[in-house]
A and B are shown apart, each in its own frame.
Chain A
Amino acid sequence: MDYLLTERQVMIRDLARQIARDKVKPVAAKDEESEEFAWEIMKVLANSDIFGIYIPEEYGGLGGGVMELCVATEELSRACGAIALGFAGTALGIYPILLYGNDEQKKKYLPDIAKGKRLAAFCITEAEAGSDAGSIKTSAKKEGDHYILNGTKQWITNAGEAEVYTVIAMTDKTKGARGASAFIVEKGTKGMDFGKKEKKLGIRASATREVIFTDCKVPKESLLSKEGMGFIVEMKTFDSSRPGVAAQAVGIAQGALDLALDYAQKRIQFGQPLSSFQAIQHMLADMATQIEAARALVYSAARMVDSGAKNISKESAMAKVYASDVAMKVAVDAVQIFGGYGYMRDYPIEKFMRDAKITQIYEGTNQIQRNIIAGHLIKESLK
């Protein structure tokens, strides 16, 4: 389908596709097995200016937006959903600064991110605060010109590898969600430590760790926006970043279909290729149609975010929920087409199924997304 991409978006898509095919694909299985972070790919992305595609030109980027972010994330995820996260997770970590940073904060952090010199991570989730982001316990206490952070964040994508962290912490526990604030903390700050690397079902080449703050002292200039804005920063960041997760899901689904289509034409049973059986043909047709529908929704949501529209939560949630459900379904079907071989770890397809699962869970579970969508539906109907 022709999505009428701009000349520059086509350039980004083609380059990301080339990187995915020539650089990511050959190392995906190895990095999955070793669970090592793909720094060599991050370097390739940095040298190709991919890290700067969604960052304004005045801060050293190429001036694109969520649409550009989605196009690149999708292409990289087509080869490996885990390696793509080094890039997409950085976008999630830096969006709070893009949206709420003052000029000084932007000047300090964005150019290095645009160049790919440093990666970023977003720290919200805690042991007892997952979907219920309002129950965050990490605290930030103001003392003179500083804030003192205490608490433990868990399952943080890019943790340990990234150098710039945006952290949601409570500055006033009595106010509940309105007592949350957002901070920028740099790796190496005294009192900031990392827990062990988590062992995961999928996206194994992506680094996931705890981030532990013990009397971690940060200057008051690290505060993003104002005290009490933490929850808003978080919600608005997710509104912008969800199409990115959705694009990762579309990429994983497309990658799974690519493999299944290729296999169906090569695998001979009953004297003919699998692709000659209507049962398989219909599966492939449904997979391709669902992916196209997901892609169309993701691009529409991304363009809506970039248009500067005010209320994007519903559409952004729709793109995330739909694309990730499609990714899971398509990946399961792709494994089915591979049959017994699909269940074997010697074949690349089972990885897509494990990688797809996370897209239904992180950046707000799909149940939370549906809450958001329904909440807006009802609110709109009452107007």
Chain B
Amino acid sequence: MNVIVCIKQVPNTTDVRIDPVTNTLIREGVESIINPFDTYAIEEGVRLKERFGGKVIVITMGPPQAETALREALSLGGDEAILISDKKFAGSDTWATSYTLSRAIKHISTFDMIICGKQASDGDTAQVGPGISTHLDIPQVTYVKRIEEISNNKAKVERMTEEGYDIIETPLPCLLTVVKEINTPRLPSLKGMIKAKSAKIIKWTADDINCDPKNIGLEGSPTRVVKIFTPPPRKGGEILKGDTNEIAQRLAESLRDVVI
């Protein structure tokens, strides 16, 4: 069972700063870590390898310093690491990023499953995972909290919903995005860390993975960020008083005013 795990290096803070001119994330001066949600994806990939054999390939798209995130992923049990890095990727939105990652994944010979964290802690879009599966035209299941079984080239998984969970069966290869309920990531091992320090990181550019220049970077990104702002805090609600009939009447009127 070969598993590809997609990770992202993110700033270690919940206080994300945005460049007011370009409206992109400011990475300078902040310690970088593996997106916390992706650590569950790595762990699940490693557990699948331990159960079924095969290997875990960790892949990230980012600047050259994202190599540290890949080395950490190797120390946590990953077998191979691929860094997709090219100046041409600068300014990629979730569409261009998922296109680029899908090109890289096509470049990897065979795989049975792709696992991503449910979203990144900086952008919080939760779009890249589903985007990759769409570009690759393979099935996707998001918010997976448990992989029940894998057999006969099928996976049975539990998808978390607000009320409970769905049980979904999907053919392989497929893409899963996982939530933190799925496992407890292990700590790295010293031998893993030592091995990861000198491990070879495979590096691919846009040309290596045959990207269509029109689909990558700022040019390939249909998203235009017009403005970034913190939504104003919600004002206190109105409490209706009076007898039940009267309240019901006024509530219905207010709803009509808002909706229509």
Residues of A within 8 A of B (CB): 8, 11-12, 15, 18-19, 22-23, 44, 47-50, 52-53, 62
Measured between beta carbons, the chain B residues less than 8 angstroms from A22 are: 187
Stretch at the interface among B109-117, B127-135, B189-197: B189-197
Measured between beta carbons, the chain B residues less than 8 angstroms from A44 are: 187
Measured between beta carbons, the chain B residues less than 8 angstroms from A62 are: 190-191, 194
Measured between beta carbons, the chain A residues less than 8 angstroms from B187 are: 15, 18-19, 22-23, 44, 47-48
CA distance A53 to B186 in the complex (A): 19
> Assuming A15-B193, A48-B188, A53-B190, what are 9 further A-B pairs, CB within 8 angstroms?
A11-B190, A12-B190, A15-B187, A18-B187, A22-B187, A47-B186, A47-B189, A52-B190, A62-B194
Contact of A49 with B186 in the complex, beta carbons under 8 Å: no
Would you give the shortest CB distance from B198 to chain A, in whole angstroms?
A: 12
Residues of B within 8 A of A (CB): 186-194
CA distance A50 to B188 in the complex (A): 11
A11 nearest CB neighbor, chain B only:
B193
Measured between beta carbons, the chain B residues less than 8 angstroms from A47 are: 186-187, 189
B187 nearest CB neighbor, chain A only:
A48
Measured between beta carbons, the chain A residues less than 8 angstroms from B192 are: 49
CA distance A19 to B190 in the complex (A): 12
CA distance A26 to B188 in the complex (A): 19
Would you give the shortest CB distance from A22 to chain B, in whole angstroms?
A: 8
A16 nearest CB neighbor, chain B only:
B190
Measured between beta carbons, the chain A residues less than 8 angstroms from B190 are: 11-12, 15, 48-50, 52-53, 62
A-B CB contact pairs (8 Å), 18 listed: A11-B190, A11-B194, A12-B190, A15-B187, A15-B190, A15-B193, A19-B187, A22-B187, A44-B187, A47-B187, A47-B189, A48-B189, A49-B189, A49-B190, A49-B192, A50-B190, A52-B190, A53-B190
CA distance A23 to B189 in the complex (A): 15
Measured between beta carbons, the chain B residues less than 8 angstroms from A18 are: 187
CA distance A12 to B191 in the complex (A): 11
Would you give the shortest CB distance from B196 to chain A, in whole angstroms?
A: 11
Residue of B186, B188, B190, B194 most packed against chain A (CB within 10 A)? B190
CA distance A62 to B191 in the complex (A): 8
Would you give the shortest CB distance from A63 to chain B, in whole angstroms?
A: 10
CA distance A62 to B188 in the complex (A): 15
Measured between beta carbons, the chain B residues less than 8 angstroms from A23 are: 187
CA distance A62 to B186 in the complex (A): 20
B193 nearest CB neighbor, chain A only:
A11
CA distance A153 to B48 in the complex (A): 47
CA distance A23 to B194 in the complex (A): 22
Measured between beta carbons, the chain A residues less than 8 angstroms from B188 are: 15, 48
Measured between beta carbons, the chain B residues less than 8 angstroms from A53 are: 190
CA distance A62 to B193 in the complex (A): 12
Would you give the shortest CB distance from A152 to chain B, in whole angstroms?
A: 38
